[in-house]
Amino acid sequence: MAELVNRLSWSKSRAMSLSKCAREFYWRAYGSWGGWDRARATPEAWQSYVFNKMKNLPMLVGELIHHVIEQVFDTHQRGRPLPVVEQSLTSLRDRLRQAWRESREKRWEQSPKNFHNLYEHFYGPEPDRETCERWRDEAYQIIRNFYELDLTQKILASPAEQIRTVEKLEEFVFDGKLLFIKIDLAWHDGEKLHLIDWKTGGTDDSVEDQLAGYALFAGRKWGVPIEQMLGYPVYLRDNTIGANCLAPEKIERLEASIRRYFDDITPRLVDTARNQADINAFPMTEDLWKCRNCFYRQLCAR
């Protein structure tokens, strides 16, 4: 098997990490490299790899809702009978229970990639039953809302080939640099390409950048001009559809922030050709409040 190479790359989560705390970025992008092979990795690399895979309860619930939605569109693409809402709720419940059990039993110690590790179990405190049930019930309602949405029905009534991509990690090149993006759903209605960002929480400021990233990818990789795209969030808690966020200046703003991201990292590297970094070039944040819920705080002793 070819040796894995740690390539310098941009993704929304890495960019957010860098703007939050340079040390967190280091753990994610460099300190954890090779940590998947516990027998050969340093304890620090293994530990940061474990934290790379960690989630908190809201993240887990959001991820599992996205899985259920993905499953519906994937089934449509395969031309198979679609799961009815009760089947999707059962699937969500089973996945939630399994994730909770795996995390509690620390099965991730065998494989952090294949078993869930919840922040609430690792650092505590474990949420009480009432809190868990509230999260579960909200997730159920979100799935029901998704099924009731006119947009969902419209997509499912259209030919399967009009779906371009569902939750697939895509990579592309911008200014000679590697970028990763995961589009929730790209669907063509016969006239325009819809880039859809399913939101399982409330509104958040990053949605414009998220959709600009989808459009940047669709323009570069599929050659779709911006006038032929619509990009919008769908808030599944109350089934509202946000306005089209795409505009040339928003894509330019994202491009500028991607350039700044690479300009920030490159001078810190000890070997740019091999993308190697030294921990000291990525200092810990002075804003201690950021450490309170940080997954890496054990490594930083904070």
From the centroid of its chain, how far is CA 100? 20
The least CB distance from residue 295 to ligand SF4, in Å, is: 7
Should residue 136 be labelled a site residue for ligand SF4 when binding is judged by CB under 6 A? no
Should residue 49 be labelled a site residue for ligand SF4 when binding is judged by CB under 6 A? no
Of 14, 23, 182, 199, which one interacts with ligand SF4 (CB under 6 A)?
23
Q: Which stretch binds ligand SF4 (CB under 6 A): 72-80, 91-99, 237-245, 289-297?
A: 289-297
Nearer CB in complex with ligand SF4: 44/167? 44
Should residue 297 be labelled a site residue for ligand SF4 when binding is judged by CB under 6 A? yes
Should residue 164 be labelled a site residue for ligand SF4 when binding is judged by CB under 6 A? no
Should residue 296 be labelled a site residue for ligand SF4 when binding is judged by CB under 6 A? yes
Name the 3-class secondary structure at 135. Answer: helix
Q: Rounded to the nearest 10 degrees, how much is the dihedral formed by the CA atoms of 146, 150, 151, 152?
A: 40
Tokens for 172, please give them.
């592309």
Of 10, 24, 208, 275, which one interacts with ligand SF4 (CB under 6 A)?
24
The least CB distance from residue 12 to ligand SF4, in Å, is: 18
Q: Which stretch binds ligand SF4 (CB under 6 A): 4-12, 134-142, 243-251, 291-299?
A: 291-299
For tokens 């640099």, what's the residue? 177
Task: Write down how long the chain is.
Answer: 302
Q: What share of the chain is helix, strand, coil (3-state, %, to 5)?
A: 55, 15, 30
Across 71-107, b (16+ Cβ under 10 Å) vs e yields: bbbeebeeeeeebeeeebbebbeebbeebbebbeeeb
Question: With CB under 6 A, what is the number of residues at the site for ligand SF4?
Answer: 12
Tokens for 283, please give them.
């200092």
Should residue 38 be labelled a site residue for ligand SF4 when binding is judged by CB under 6 A? no
Spatial distance between the Cα atoms of 160 and 164, rounded to a whole number of angstroms: 9
Nearer CB in complex with ligand SF4: 259/302? 302
Task: Decide if 176 contacts 188 (C-beta within 8 A).
Answer: no
- The amino acid sitting at 250 is K
Spatial distance between the Cα atoms of 278 and 268, rounded to a whole number of angstroms: 8
Give the single-character DSSP code of 4: P
Q: Which stretch binds ligand SF4 (CB under 6 A): 20-28, 85-93, 108-116, 268-276?
A: 20-28
Spatial distance between the Cα atoms of 120 and 34, rounded to a whole number of angstroms: 25
User: Which residues partner with 171 through β-bridges?
Assistant: 180
Should residue 54 be labelled a site residue for ligand SF4 when binding is judged by CB under 6 A? no
Nearer CB in complex with ligand SF4: 129/292? 292
Nearer CB in complex with ligand SF4: 14/23? 23
Nearer CB in complex with ligand SF4: 198/295? 295
Of 21, 211, 230, 277, which one interacts with ligand SF4 (CB under 6 A)?
21
Q: Which stretch binds ligand SF4 (CB under 6 A): 75-83, 121-129, 205-213, 288-296?
A: 288-296
Task: Decide if 209 contacts 256 (C-beta within 8 A).
Answer: no
The least CB distance from residue 178 to ligand SF4, in Å, is: 24
Per CB under 6 A, residues contacting ligand SF4 are: 21, 23-24, 284-285, 290-291, 294, 296-297, 300, 302
